Amino acid sequence: MDELRKNGKEIGLAVIIVGDNPASRIYVNNKKKACEYIGIRSEEFALPESTTEEELKSLVEKLNNDDTIDGILVQLPLPKHINEETVINTISVKKDVDAFHPVNVGKIMIGDYDFLPCTPAGVMELIKESGIDVDGKNCVVVGRSNIVGKPQAMLLLHKNGTVTICHSKTKDLAEVTKNADILVAAVGVPEMITGDMVKEGAVVIDVGMNRLPDKKLVGDVKFEECEKKAAAITPVPGGVGPMTIAMLMKNTVKAATLK
């Protein structure tokens, strides 16, 4: 980043938000704060709920051709009348700082990538910085979304983990999770992973972010129970969330560097 600054290059990130989803608004504000903190210029495009798919695609195409924009982020979820896949496919592969475009997904699969999806990349950074070796470990990922579960499994596999992906059809989930040396919960169900599902001394990473009826924010892991057994565990909030934003900043700087 210092090198880019020396050459007088300003880094630009375009953030598009459609509608007024409260959680999306919080995420977008946090991303903007991070940009401000490290010196990236962020441009927000807040569009009404009634925006059509064609209007959104037209904006993305305009940003694809804008040389002052290095990265484009479309905040998900989008309103139901807009096809998310179509919009993601419209983003230039070189500006896809969320790494959701099929070309970037394919590059992750073969291990030759420019960008990594921000949340799985943040999880890997936490593992690395904590001095945890993935090599040969039993790694269990609960959740198979395209945004977290699948790429998370692939990144653990690239580090020589033996990876199991669990989902809603997995039989006897607890038997699988109890064998995990590294357990990543990314299923979106409040406090689904309980203490009796965790192996003594396991590394437990909670990607979940759920709001209870009493407004309390919790993850997919029952923290108080699992903390007693885990060698290391991430809290919610304050664990994976900040790492996700840090990885977005890293991807945006990389996009500018590659350009």
CATH of the domain at 175: 3.40.50.720
Is the domain of 44 the same as that of 73? yes
With respect to residue 35, please indicate whether it lies within any of the assigned structural domains: yes
Number of separate domains in the chain: 2
Residue 248: Cβ-neighbour burial (10 angstroms; 0-12, 13-18, 19+): buried
With respect to residue 80, please indicate whether it lies within any of the assigned structural domains: yes
One-letter identity of residue 32 = K
203-239 per-residue burial string, b: 16 or more CB within 10 A, e: under 16? bbbbbbbbeeeeeeebbbbbbebbeebbebbbebeeb
Is the domain of 98 the same as that of 122? no
Coil, strand, or helix at residue 176?
helix
- Non-local (6+) Cβ contacts of 235 within 8 A are 206, 219, 223
> Structure pTM?
0.92
With respect to residue 108, please indicate whether it lies within any of the assigned structural domains: no
Domain closes at, from 103, 128, 161: 103
> What pLDDT sits at residue 6?
61
pLDDT band at 33; cut points 50, 70, 90: very high
Is the domain of 147 the same as that of 211? yes
> What pLDDT sits at residue 4?
62
With respect to residue 57, please indicate whether it lies within any of the assigned structural domains: yes
Is the domain of 123 the same as that of 99? no
Query: Partners of 14 in the beta sheet?
Result: 43, 72
With respect to residue 254, please indicate whether it lies within any of the assigned structural domains: no
DSSP state of 13: E
Is the domain of 133 the same as that of 228? yes
Write the pLDDT tens digit of every residue in 51-88. Answer: 999 999 999 999 999 999 999 999 999 999 999 999 99
Which residue has tokens 């807040």? 46
What domain range includes position 139?
118-239
One-letter identity of residue 117 = P
Give the residue-averaged pLDDT of 126-141. Answer: 97
State the catalytic residues. Answer: 31, 75, 98
Is the domain of 129 the same as that of 232? yes
With respect to residue 191, please indicate whether it lies within any of the assigned structural domains: yes
> What pLDDT sits at residue 2?
64
Write the pLDDT tens digit of every residue in 229-243. Answer: 999 999 999 999 999
Domain closes at, from 103, 134, 161: 103
With respect to residue 246, please indicate whether it lies within any of the assigned structural domains: no
Domain closes at, from 43, 69, 103: 103
Average pLDDT along the chain: 95
Is the domain of 127 the same as that of 46? no
pLDDT band at 142; cut points 50, 70, 90: very high
Q: Would the pLDDT of 179 be above 80?
A: yes
Distances (CA, A) of 66 to 11, 13, 92, 230: 12, 11, 11, 48
Residue 249's Cβ-side half-sphere holds a number of Cα atoms within 13 Å equal to 19
Is the domain of 163 the same as that of 84? no
> What pLDDT sits at residue 7?
64
One-letter identity of residue 114 = D
Q: What CATH number corresponds to the domain at position 58?
A: 3.40.50.10860
Q: Would the pLDDT of 1 be above 70?
A: no
Q: Give yes or no for a contact between 221 and 193, defined as CB atoms under 8 angstroms apart.
A: yes
Both tokens assigned to 91: 């983003």
Give the residue-averaged pLDDT of 85-101. Answer: 97
Q: Would the pLDDT of 5 be above 80?
A: no
The Cα–Cα gap between 135 and 226 comes to 23
Q: Would the pLDDT of 3 be above 70?
A: no
Is the domain of 130 the same as that of 94? no
The percentage of the chain sitting over the pLDDT mark of 90, rounded to a whole number, equals: 90
Is the domain of 83 the same as that of 143? no
Is the domain of 82 the same as that of 136? no
With respect to residue 110, please indicate whether it lies within any of the assigned structural domains: no
Is the domain of 98 the same as that of 45? yes
Q: Would the pLDDT of 198 be above 70?
A: yes
Q: Would the pLDDT of 168 be above 80?
A: yes
Write the pLDDT tens digit of every residue in 7-26. Answer: 667 999 999 999 988 888 88
